[in-house]
Amino acid sequence: MTETAAIPTPFNMRATHVPDVPETLRRVAESLRKAHPSPALRELREAAWTVFESMGVPQNGHEDFSFVSSADLKGVLNRLPDGKLLAPEISSATTIGVRDEVDSGWMELLKAESDAPAALAAALAPAPREIALADKDQVRVVLAGSLARADHALRLDVPAHAKASVSFVLENPEAQAFVNAVVYLRLGAGATLDVSVSEAAQGFQLLKIGADLRRDAQLNLLTVSTGSRLARVSIDAALREPGASLDARGAAVAAGANRSHRHLRIRHAAPDCVSKQLFKTVVPGPGRSSMDGTVFVDPGAQRTDARQLLQHLLLSKEGRADAKPRLLIHADDVKCSHGATVGKTDPAQKFYLLSRGLDARTADRLLTQAFLNEALEIFPDEATADARARLMDAIGVEAK
Amino acid sequence: MTTPLLQITNLRAGLAGPPPVEILKGISLTIHPGEVHAIMGPNGSGKSTLSKVAAGHPDYTVTGGDVVFMGESLLGMEPDARARKGLFLGFQYPVEIPGVSNAEFLRIAGNARRRERGEEELDPFDFQELLDQHMKNLDMDARFKERGVNEGFSGGEKKRNEILQMAVLDPALAILDETDSGLDVDALKIVSKGINALRRPDNAVLLITHYQRLLDYVQPDFVHILMNGKILKSGDKSLALEVETRGYDWLVA
């Protein structure tokens, strides 16, 4: 069973309502399309726009955006591009081939796109990029926001049996800035890719990561966030061929009144694949977090091993945490588990630390750190030291 | 006569509830520097409650009497302040804290205590040296440093880790709550050796135990029998031996 499996996806709200497509945006998108000299890019934008148009701006009650403020979403998605050429900043390495033109592979990806902001990002991105990674490549990609809007579309291909790593940085330092990005990762047979996503952000950011794993490919992914006005990362991974394996983890702090949203869709489309999701978010004060994860096991995806755990640490009464762990299983020989927890730091653990003379603040800091550590442990300590420091900083004085 | 390290006067305390449950019904006990005391008693007599009340566990509340430690009442003092002042509780069931490294935890705790005593904090290298020495004395494998606090430790390893913490914190008074439970003879000998090595004329130990076996290795100066929330009888080590042969029932008769 491979990508031909067609499973009804009840969470995809396409065609269940009249799509909300702002008229001015439609006109701007059209003129952008027509203006571009490259036929390939025109075609890509056309396809992406058509997909976006069929969905429109997610409205109140949209199941994939149920925890996100629809007013905020509408506000930013309706913004018009200011015509600046905002390209992703990609660290150079001799082995990386970056092409400005796009090939037919994009069409396949876009036609299957179910995330409206992602489709819009591809339709409006001034400079879509393709990166062909080579073995041992280590690439850093900065996706910057802008006060108007900044749309980015990227595709990374990891050839068979290559091993590479990419870190994405969402840079959005202004409170009103907006970045909307879509990234497609395609892992060839036996390829290994380590991905880390960090948000150095204040404003509004939406990131969709699509991942496609072939036979025995391995994707290790860590998202780190301290939240912002609107911080949503959506991961949509498909394990297409036997032996593919995904380890997706998240460590987040919804600092202050920040919001942090994690949306996860993992599809087991072939037998003998393994997926693990471990997402942890601390809400120290009046912030808000959501983690919405679904694992689909297609018919025929036997011997699937899928584990999902979504955990919240809620340190004050003012915070809010929503978790929605789900499994949709259409095969009978599988090992699947899912769960969600929400709570304060463990009182027995805290008393133990206090009884050794650690003050309450230090005890809370250690226990919170310990909570996040399990997610950060996906990569070696030195690789996550900055993230760790930033997360602990974000918890700051609010922890009680 | 020296000033007592610990002076418990007519202490009444129990679970905070709701509903509140009185467990200790008027206990008085005085411990001087250099002494080893043992409290024995059947299940449910209030032994563990006494240790938790002394350490300031939030589930327990004091309804009467006083606990004075080194001249200062512990009532109203936060658990961490009690510990920094030099009170140590060895837990009957030490909790596991995955993700907090045992070594880091010990260093933070040790330095908090040193600060309180006006001593200089140890840097990670000096602390490492001190820790290695203590671990050697307790026959503990170096890998326990890097593990999470008590994470995946066996029962005996957890108890050794308690004594290791006691060694690092160098308390004025250590209350050891059933440190002997779950230990085989060899582990009991090692743990006892560790406790004895820390004994000095200026500190004291309060052992809480079901059995007199531990008292063969750590010799008490005083033995108290706690039953139904009261100390029914106090004596020397021979009292423990008597309990061993006759049980507890004769005390209430």
* Predicted local distance difference test score (pLDDT) of residue A397: 42
Identify whether A78 is part of a domain: yes
Q: Which helix (H) or strand (E) holds A347?
A: helix A347-354
Whether B53 contacts B11, CB under 8 Å: yes
Which residue of B57, B108, B112 is in closest CB contact with A351?
Answer: B57
Q: Which residue segment(s) compose the domain that A323 sits in?
A: 23-345
Could you tell me the pLDDT band of residue B246, with boundaries at 50, 70 and 90? confident
Residue A381 belongs to a domain:
no
Q: Taking Cα atoms as reference points, which of A89, A218, A108 lies closest to residue A165? A: A218
CA B97 to chain centre: 20
Asked, for residue A390, whether it belongs to a domain, the answer is no
B153/B140 Cα distance (integer angstroms): 11
DSSP state of B250: H
Q: How many separate domains does chain A show?
A: 1
pLDDT of residue B249: 82
* Confidence label for A278 from pLDDT (cuts 50, 70 and 90): very high
Residue with tokens 């076996």: B213
Q: How far is CA A171 from CA A27, A119, A146, A153, B157, in A?
A: 28, 21, 9, 15, 47
Q: Does A361 touch chain B (CB under 8 A)?
A: no
Check pLDDT > 80 for residue A2.
no
Helices A347-354 and A360-376: angle between axes, nearest 10 degrees: 130
Beta bridge partners of A56: A20
**Where are the domains positioned within chain B?**
6-252
What is the C-alpha separation between A357 and B115, in angstroms, rounded?
11
- Highest mean pLDDT of the ranges A90-99, A172-181, A286-295, B13-22: A286-295
pLDDT band at A265 (very low <50, low <70, confident <90, very high): very high
Alpha carbons within 13 angstroms on the beta-carbon side of residue B181 total: 14
Query: Which residues from chain A sit within 8 angstroms of residue B94, using beta carbons?
Result: 352
| A358 to B109: CB separation less than 8 angstroms, yes or no | yes
Listing DSSP states for B48-59 in one string gives HHHHHHHHT-TT
Q: Which CATH class is domain B6-252?
A: alpha beta
Task: Report CB contact under 8 Å: A370, B79.
Answer: no
* Confidence at residue A1, expressed as pLDDT on a 0 to 100 scale: 38
Q: How far is Cα B96 from Cα A367, in angstroms, rounded to an integer? A: 11
Contacts of A374 in chain B (CB under 8 A): 98-99
Measured between CB atoms, which of B58, B80, B100 is closest to A366? Answer: B100
Do the Cβ atoms of A371 and B99 come within 8 Å? yes
Sign of the alpha-carbon dihedral angle for A20, A26, A32, A33: positive
- Classify residue A398: in a domain, yes or no: no
User: What is the distance between the alpha carbons of residues B98 and B151, in angstroms, rounded to a whole number?
Assistant: 6
Instruction: Decide if A18 is inside a domain.
Output: no
On whether residue A400 sits in a domain, the answer given is no
Asked if residue A119 belongs to a domain, the reply is yes
For B103-137, write each residue's pLDDT tens digit. Answer: 889 999 999 999 988 998 888 888 998 899 889 88
Q: Is A38 within a domain? A: yes
